[in-house]
Amino acid sequence: MAILQTVTSPAREHPSLVSFWNDLPRDGKFLLSTVAIETLGTGLVLPFGFIYLHEVRGFTIETAGSLLAVPAIAGMAVVGPAGAFIDRLGARRIILAGMAAQMLGNVLLAFSATPLMSALSMGLLGAAGGIFWPGFNAMIGAVVPSGIRQRYFGINFTLVNLGIGLGGVLAGSIVNVHRPGTFVAIYLGNAFSFLAPFLRTKQE
């Protein structure tokens, strides 16, 4: 009578977050850290765009809705050329250009009192997104080792959602439509969150 033997494979050990962090190269650690800061800033303003334009700046519902569509249009218009520039100039330069546009767009939007100025600000923000995200993903592919890249994207996505959520909660606790300065503050805070890459000291 045959004796059946059950072979049990050893449980697979998932690497800890500490080991994942230690395995990341310096540029990968920097990218992941800046994501946490930048998405926190994005969360400050993301839920309040319509409220800001309509109730604080006094634009009509139709105008506010149209302005909120501008970033998507601008982003689609620049994403193709942005890819070509990434190939020619490198992802790092393109990311910095996108962040500069994000900062300028947020500062202008914080003080935009007319639909035209707001449209310009929204256009800059949309163009910045169309430039930044392709460059950011290209840089991940370049600096993060393939063995941990899948986990990197998972943790990166988690940080994006966490940052946006925390930023929204923080801004929701301070903004007040009767105090326009509170909205100016969150847009300036979002602009400030994109400063980190410019403050980095290059150590090649």
Per domain, the residue ranges of the chain are 35-197
Collapsing DSSP to helix, strand or coil, 7 comes out as coil
CA distance 88 to 109: 31
- pLDDT mean across residues, the chain: 88
CA distance 57 to 50: 10
Name the one residue in this structure whose structure tokens are 């890249």. 149
Residue 7: the pLDDT is 47
Residue 135, C-beta contacts closer than 8 angstroms, at least 6 positions apart: 82, 86, 91, 92, 94, 95, 98
Report whether CATH 3.30.465.10 matches the domain 35-197: no
Distances, alpha carbon 3 to alpha carbons 6, 57, in Å = 10, 80
Has residue 5 got a pLDDT over 80? no
What average pLDDT does the segment 172-198 reach? 93
* 37 residue type, one letter: I
C-alpha 129 chain-centroid distance: 8
Name the one residue in this structure whose structure tokens are 């409220």. 51
DSSP state of 113: -
For the whole prediction, is pTM greater than 0.75? yes
Instruction: Give the other-Cβ count within 10 Å of 89's Cβ.
Output: 12
Residue 201: the pLDDT is 43
Tell me what percent of the residues of the chain surpass a pLDDT of 90: 56
Residue 13: the pLDDT is 56
Has residue 1 got a pLDDT over 90? no
Has residue 138 got a pLDDT over 70? yes
Of residues 78 and 12, more confidence is placed in 78
CA distance 38 to 166: 12
Range picked from 24-38, 66-80, 140-154 for highest mean pLDDT: 66-80
Are the beta carbons of 34 and 132 closer than 8 angstroms? Answer: no
Q: How do residues 65-96 score in pLDDT, each as one tens digit?
A: 999 999 999 999 999 999 899 889 888 888 88
Distances, alpha carbon 152 to alpha carbons 8, 167, 197, in Å = 30, 22, 19
Residue 188: the pLDDT is 97
Of residues 31 and 52, more confidence is placed in 52
Collapsing DSSP to helix, strand or coil, 1 comes out as coil
Range picked from 9-13, 16-20, 28-32, 76-80 for highest mean pLDDT: 76-80
Long-range contacts of 137-141 (CB under 8 A, 24+ apart): 138/86, 138/91, 139/27, 139/31, 139/91, 139/92, 139/95, 140/28, 140/31
